[in-house]
Amino acid sequence: MTTIRLVQGDITRESADAIVNAANSSLLGGGGVDGAIHRRGGPAILAACRDLRASRYGKGLPTGQAVATTAGNLDARWVIHTVGPVYSRSEDRSELLASCYRESLRVADELGARTVAFPAISTGVYRWPMEDAARIALETVRETSTGVEEVRFVLFDEPAYEVFARQLD
């Protein structure tokens, strides 16, 4: 059974087998969590992402999919990059958001990761409402069969932490 923990803090300072990056499809860094992971993780992550683009993802990583690279200077073995969907009021994209969590756990299982740290995927510049994102994230992790022993949601600020805590209860 997977233990779910909530932590308020900076995901780039977490110690875990794998840290999940809320990446953009280019895999080449960006703002928010993506930029922070690339900055703290150093050039090895960007080099690995460039290799992935050259070999498999020339058009970018599709939304809802996940792929792993080295973690560079982070206190982790791997970074699992996943592309969250942009929130839409006119189109239900919740299955794509759930897929980010399922696919990240699938990749974690392939790697043999036992601890995985997730951010709140799609809640930043992709504007997914935090309550709905927390519900989808927690339900998906609970329902996904995985060998991962601990999933840690690392929430950047107190309001996000409180939303996830309410949903976890």
Per-residue pLDDT tens over the stretch 93-117: 999 999 999 999 999 999 999 999 9
The H-assigned helical ranges of the chain are: 32-41, 43-55, 94-111, 130-143, 158-168
Summary mean pLDDT of the chain:
97
Which domains does the chain show, CATH number per domain? 3-168 (3.40.220.10)
| pLDDT above 90: residue 57 | no
Q: What is the mean pLDDT of residues 17-27?
A: 96
Q: Which of 17, 34, 75, 132 is catalytic?
A: 34
- How does strand 16-23 pair with strand 115-118? parallel
Half-sphere exposure (Cβ direction) of 38: Cα atoms closer than 13 Å: 19
* pLDDT the model gives residue 102: 98
Which helix (H) or strand (E) element contains residue 152? Answer: strand 150-155
**Residues near 5 by Cβ (< 8 Å), separated by ≥ 6?**
150, 151, 152, 153
Percent over 70 (pLDDT), the chain: 100
* pLDDT the model gives residue 19: 98
Mapping DSSP to helix (H, G, I), strand (E, B) and coil, where does residue 143 land? helix
Q: What is the mean pLDDT of residues 53-73?
A: 95
* pLDDT the model gives residue 1: 86
| pLDDT above 90: residue 13 | yes
Q: How far is CA 127 from the centre of its chain?
A: 15
* pLDDT the model gives residue 83: 97
Q: What is the mean pLDDT of residues 48-70?
A: 94
* pLDDT the model gives residue 99: 98
157 annotated active-site: no
Q: What is the mean pLDDT of residues 118-122?
A: 98
Tokens 């073995």, residue?
77
Tokens read off for 55: 């070999």
**pLDDT bracket for residue 86 (50, 70, 90):** very high
